[in-house]
Structure formats: C-alpha cells, structure tokens
Structure 1
Amino acid sequence: MDARPDPEKKPSRIQQRNRRRILEAALDVFSAEGFRGATLDAIAEAAGMSKPNVLYYFDSKETIHVTLLNGLMETWVEPLRALRDDADPVEALMAYVMTKLEMSRTMPRESRLFANEILQGAPRMGPHLQRGLKPLFDRKCALISGWVQAGRLAEIDPAHLLMTIWAVTQHYADFEAQVAVLQPDRRDGWARAERHVDAMFRHLLTP
C-alpha cells in the first residue's frame, strides 16, 4: 500500500510540521551546497530524519528544491508588487530599497538559494521568471518611467534602477562570508550599510 499523503486530504499537524522541518533543513543544505552539491542524504541528516521518511513527503530532491523556490519567489516579489502609483515616488522606492536590504539581513539563505538557481541558468525557475517576474517587472518599470516623465524622480533608467537595487541589497546576503570578514562587527556593519544605501539611492532618485 502507498503510504504517501493523499494530496486531496488536508495534511495533519504532524505532516505539516515534518514538511516544514524538511524544507528548513533543505534550505540550509541548498543555500550552502547549491542544487548539484546537495543530496537527499544531507537533507535527511540536517532534518534529523531518515531518507525514506523524507521521500515519504517529497518524491525527489528536485521537488523539495522547487517547493522552496516557489515559496521564495512569492516572498521576493511582494515588495515590488507593493509599489503603487498613488505613492510618493522617492519614499516608495526608498521603502522598497530598505525592505530588500532587510530581507538580505534576515533571509540570507533564501537569497543564496535564489542566486544559485540563477547562476545555473534558472533550469527550474525559468518559466516562473517569464510568467511571473517579467510582466511584474515591466509594469513597475512603466510606473517608474511615468514618475520620471512627470518630474517626480530624477532621470533614471527604470529597468537598471531595479536591477541595481537587487545587486546592491542582495550582495550583503550572497557575499555574506566576505562581508563578515570585511565588516566583523555585524551590528555596526548593518547600521552603516543602511545609512550608506539610504543616502546613495536617495541622492540617485531625488529630482
């Protein structure tokens, strides 16, 4: 008899807890080793479970990876989705910048998981990028372009502004090991990073 959970039946609390436990362990392993370097054995060990038990909840390493990426994508794009036409352009974009920086501070594993996927050519997230991120990106670029044309923002390229925001803020997560060596006082380093990033983008955006 197949003991795999019935997808039509609501998972029990224990099943939900074990799925979260596996995903949390997998996030550690994937963010450190990448998809190719990660193994089900390593994920099971990190979760404190047997490999067969992990496979009871997820049928493959790829299924776990895609589950993590799908959840992360929604979290990652939500601050961009929140940019609205009725907001003050400079303050709205600065709030977005600082939210992205805070996400790098609190979610470094998630940032590295996504970065590793992109560096490999986005083999599992390619369709998600095309169907989900690209239309949203185009809409927000049009919004920013409208702000620029109305004189409410400095003359900037909307697409490269967004990519620069991502590059600057996610650096602190994706290169965390290097940042830790160069700025060993973590609390002071983050305070200085916030001041610098705020000043840099505010100067860039202000008409």
Structure 2
Amino acid sequence: MTDKKLRKTKQSVNRALLESRILRSAEIVFASKGFSGASMERIAELAKISKQNLIYYFPNKDLLYKRVLKEILDIWIEKLSFLEHQEDSPEVVIANYVREKMQISRLYPNGSKVFAHEIISGAPVLKEYLISHLKPQFDRDVELVKSWINKGLIEEIDPQHLFFTIWAATQTYADFSVQMEVLLGKGPLSDEDFKRAELAVTDLVVRAIGAKKII
C-alpha cells in the first residue's frame, strides 16, 4: 500500500471515529434534553470538539438528529432479523432475538431513548424511514412466525403483537432504566442485570408460544 493510500485510510478511520463520538454525544443530549432543548454547543462540548468542527460534519441540528435516529434504527434492523436464523428452531430464534434486542438496550440506551421520544411524538422525522426500512423486514418476520404456527411448532399467537411485546419488554431496560434502578435499589444496571433480564424475557416468550424451554 502506498503512503498516499495509507494516509487516506488513516483519515477515513479517524473520520469514522470522530463521527461515532459525535453521534454518541448527540444521543446523550437529545435523550436528556429532547430535540428542542438540545444545542449544537452542548453536543460539541460533550464530544470535546469545537462547534465549528461539529458543523463541518453535521451542518445543523436537524441533520444530526436524523442521523442519530436512522443509525439506531439501522442497528436494530441489522441485528434483529428473524430470517437470519430461520433454519433454527423457534426457541433458538427467539433466544437470539431477545439477546440481540437486549444488547441494543444495553449498548445504545440513549439512542433508544431518542427513538422512543420520536415515536411518542408521532414519528415526524422517522415515519417514512420506518415504512421503507423497518416494515418490509417486519412483514417477513411475521410470515416466518406464521409458518411456525402452520407447522405446529408453536401455539397459535398473533405474530405482530408477539414482536410488539418483545420490543416493549426489551426496550424498557433502556427507556425506563431509572425506574428499574430505583425499584432494584441500585445504581446503573450491570451486565449481570441485563443477562438476568434476557433470561427472564426469553423464558416468558418461549412459554407463551408453547415452544420448548431452553433455559
């Protein structure tokens, strides 16, 4: 590799790292202040860069907000397709799905909160993206669950509301973590807390659909 290519590669890596730092900082500010209360100054401060540098990457707050929302949804879509594991048994697919969803709540709690605020507000920014990106996958996954029912692998259950229930049960560990911390009498939820939650949610869902218990 030539020196020029090496420099270009290094610049690309540095840019990606800086963008990631900006996005993580924006998630924190949007999650705590909402869109209207967030400021580019505070995001730049948290990312430890100048406002001018921030504007170079994201010219305005609207664009940064959209990027935060799309990134968390893209992560969700990338990790949570039932179809990636369709050769597995329903209970294994369910366990993998819950595990990935819980991981997103653990690793991207602020992104999840921003997403929740957007949905509660009627999804003014994200609605078309939900229709074009999330719904096609959702429809495919619903069809897979229907095939399990038709094959007698699980009990008859409403596939769409099965997903809604799993999403609610896993996202709550990000969106309402403070409530859980208070009720559990502890500080921020630990990896062990998330593992305990993952096992509990998986067990509940597997029991509900009448699949084999795996935990």
- Identify the TM-score tier after normalising by the shorter chain: 0.7 to 0.9
In 2 relative to 1, CA 19–199 (structure 1 residues): closer, same or farther, beyond 3 Å? closer
Q: Aligned partners of 1:160 and 1:17: how far apart in 2?
A: 38
Q: Aligned partners of 2:16 and 2:97: how far apart in 1?
A: 32
- 1:44 CA displacement: 1.5
User: Which letter does structure 1 place at the counterpart of 2:160?
Assistant: A
Matching residue of 1:190: 194
| Contact 1:90/1:153 (<8 A) preserved | no
Matching residue of 2:4: none
Matching residue of 2:27: 27
| Contact 1:80/1:140 (<8 A) preserved | no
| Contact 2:82/2:141 (<8 A) preserved | no
Tell me the percent identity.
Answer: 38
CA displacement, residues 108-158 of structure 1 (integer Å, 9 cap, x when unaligned):
112112111111111111111011111111111111011111101111100
Matching residue of 2:92: 91
- Say which SS state the counterpart of residue 153 (structure 2) adopts: coil
Structure 2 unmatched runs, 5+: 1-7
In 2 relative to 1, CA 199–31 (structure 1 residues): closer, same or farther, beyond 3 Å? same
**Count of equivalent residues:** 199
| Contact 1:94/1:201 (<8 A) preserved | no
Q: Aligned partners of 1:72 and 1:65: how far apart in 2?
A: 11
TM-score by length of 1: 0.86
- 1:191 CA displacement: 4.4
1:144 corresponds to 2:165: no
Q: Aligned partners of 1:47 and 1:191: how far apart in 2?
A: 30
Q: Aligned partners of 1:105 and 1:24: how far apart in 2?
A: 14
Matching residue of 1:4: none
1:106 corresponds to 2:99: no
Matching residue of 2:174: 173
Matching residue of 1:42: 42
Matching residue of 2:5: none
In 2 relative to 1, CA 132–152 (structure 1 residues): closer, same or farther, beyond 3 Å? same
Matching residue of 2:120: 119
Aligned CA-pair RMSD: 2.1
- Say which SS state the counterpart of residue 122 (structure 1) adopts: coil
- 1:29 CA displacement: 0.7
Higher deviation after alignment, 167-176 or 81-90: 81-90
Higher deviation after alignment, 25-34 or 186-195: 186-195
| Contact 1:183/1:189 (<8 A) preserved | no
In 2 relative to 1, CA 134–58 (structure 1 residues): closer, same or farther, beyond 3 Å? same
| Contact 1:90/1:205 (<8 A) preserved | no
Q: Aligned partners of 1:135 and 1:110: how far apart in 2?
A: 22
User: Which letter does structure 2 place at the counterpart of 1:12?
Assistant: Q
User: Which letter does structure 2 place at the counterpart of 1:142?
Assistant: E
TM-score by length of 2: 0.83
| Contact 1:104/1:169 (<8 A) preserved | yes
User: Which letter does structure 1 place at the counterpart of 2:170?
Assistant: T
